[in-house]
Amino acid sequence: MSGISNMFNTGRLALFANQKGLEVTSQNIANVGTPGYSRQSVVLSTATPLNTAPGQTGTGVTVSEIRRVVNGFIESQITSGGSDFGRLEAESGLLTRIESTFTDAAGTGLNTVLSDFFSAIQDVANAPADRPARIVLLERAKQLSQQIVSADTQFRQVRTDANKEIIGVLGEINQFASQVAALNDRIKEVVLSGQNPNDLYDRRQTLINAVAERIDIQSIEDSFGQTTIFVGNGKVLVEGSNAGSLSGAGSADNDGFVNINYAMGSGSPTDITSAISNGRLNALIDIRDTVVPGFMDQLDRLAAAVINETNQQHRLGFGLDNSTGNDFFSPLSPTASGLAANTGSGVLSVSVADPSVLTLDQYRVTLSGGNYTVTNLATGAASTPGTLPQTFEGLTIGIASGTPANGDVFNVSAHLNTARTMSVALTDPDQVAAASTLAGVPGDNGNANLLAGIQNQTISALNGDNVQTFYSGFVGDVGTRAQSAQRGLQVETDMRFQLQNMRQETSGVSMDEEMTNIIKFQRAYEASASIITTADELFQTILAMKR
């Protein structure tokens, strides 16, 4: 009797096991197109045997585990590679947009209008008494100014758009972090119940990968299946069922653009901007705070050099109306700004004392022990500590209002924002100073020739380049960065594709394999039912013998 009862039990366990196999196979087939889904498999084990004569007799099969088929190394590579992909994707998109600013395909780019401006000066030199040539020159100068202002506007818009996207990315990270924390809580409950939360693991891994694309992370998993996520040099973004948050805080020292603050619970916010080293967030910060400002500085230098050199030479000449000493472009307007951390009320004034020795570098004024020091940030050259006003490298720096305090720091520049405000000062064509002497008016072209020669003149403020060479190098730098980002993105995209293929080979659902499993489990289920039918027939035979 015990033998027939064991047959019943063995058949019953086999029915359950193969039914579970069909259920898991159905789940795989249903999720064949679900992003991030990992194939599941039924792990079967033999049941505990019975001690019988002449030896142990098996008691069937049990489902010991429903396993999530994953390769941990590949998963970690996909996560870490996501940060590189997110960074390069953002860089490539923004740099390509910046590069388009200097596209000259239609003949209206900055390079063209710069050449047209100097060509118009040469036309005046060829016919100094010709008023139409002077009108054309002023129009070309306006076009040059407008093109430079337009380029500066586009740079500023890129920074503004990057800042808006940073705020959006922070919101996405916070949302994903909260969802990971919620999944951590559910995963722990399932693990403590002795089950495998396979689908929850998949959903959480998809979210972790989404976070990694946006910011570089480190993560560890504990014995309860919960993942702890770190950002910004060890700051805990997710721990158990708790999630920290990232927020943007406007910086007065950075045009009001946001720095990245981290906080956990009711804790005080911590600035982690400098600790973000990868992901989309890193690229947006770098483009906004380093790359674009660097390009803007070069554009400001170019504009300031054209203005400063043209004005200096133009003041020396004479117009058809015998006027002299006139600026061609609106003159440079140096700036001074105190850091947000300054404790004094002082506001500095800056003016050009000698345009011929301007370096167009950035300067820093510091007050220490009652003494002011002006330092050239590019060369390290510094003035002797003293009082204000003082003149250094062509700039006179004084106190406009208030009283600075010891420790206060001010940034000074002769060219900052020049591209933003560049304009033509002359409105009367007769005031174009083509003649080098009053007696030479109207036929003298000596000063006009010198003005035209500025195009090929080496300018120390432009690193010893002439205007055209400096511009070409500037544009080349933009193009090189854009192409480098595009190549890097292509390499990372190929690697990402290969990793996804490797993951698919291990964790992906193969319809051919699943169809084979359906047939296998179906036939095993039918055979299990046959065991029960046979055991029932044997049992009925025994009962009939007892009647």
Dist CA 165 CA 155 (whole Å): 15
One digit per residue, the tens of pLDDT, for the chain of length 547 reads 467 888 889 999 999 999 999 999 999 999 999 999 999 999 999 988 888 878 788 888 999 999 999 999 999 999 999 999 999 999 999 999 999 888 765 556 788 899 999 999 999 999 999 999 999 999 999 999 999 999 999 999 999 999 999 999 999 999 999 999 999 999 999 999 999 999 999 999 999 999 999 999 999 999 999 999 999 989 999 999 999 999 999 999 999 999 999 999 888 999 999 999 999 999 999 999 999 999 999 999 999 999 999 999 999 999 999 999 999 999 999 999 999 999 999 999 999 999 999 999 999 999 999 999 999 999 999 999 999 999 999 999 999 999 999 999 999 999 999 999 999 999 999 999 999 999 999 999 999 999 999 999 999 999 999 999 999 998 999 999 999 999 999 999 999 999 999 999 999 999 999 999 999 999 999 999 999 999 888 888 888 886 6
Dist CA 480 CA 483 (whole Å): 5
Please report the pLDDT score of residue 108 as a whole number. Answer: 64
Dist CA 541 CA 544 (whole Å): 5
Are the C-beta atoms of residues 445 and 128 closer than 8 Å to each other?
Answer: yes
Q: What is the pTM of this model?
A: 0.90
Structure tokens at 232: 């910004």
Residue 15, number of CB atoms within 10 A of its CB: 20
Domain ranges of the chain: 2-69+508-545, 75-84+163-278, 333-414
In 233-291, alpha helices (H) = 279-286
Strands 227-231 and 218-221: antiparallel
Which residues lie across from 42 on neighbouring strands?
Answer: 66
- Any idea of the CA torsion for 295, 105, 112, 430, to the nearest 10 degrees? -120
Are the C-beta atoms of residues 184 and 227 closer than 8 Å to each other?
Answer: yes
End-to-end Cα spacing for the chain = 16
Please report the pLDDT score of residue 546 as a whole number. Answer: 67
Are the C-beta atoms of residues 245 and 231 closer than 8 Å to each other?
Answer: no
* DSSP sequence for 175-231: HHHHHHHHHHHHHHHHHHTT---HHHHHHHHHHHHHHHHHS--EEEE-TTS-EEEEE
Dist CA 68 CA 57 (whole Å): 32
Please report the pLDDT score of residue 242 as a whole number. Answer: 96
Residue 189, number of CB atoms within 10 A of its CB: 14
Please report the pLDDT score of residue 544 as a whole number. Answer: 84
Please report the pLDDT score of residue 292 as a whole number. Answer: 96
Are the C-beta atoms of residues 409 and 398 closer than 8 Å to each other?
Answer: no
Please report the pLDDT score of residue 1 as a whole number. Answer: 43
Phi first, then psi: give them for residue 127, nearest 5 degrees: -140, 75
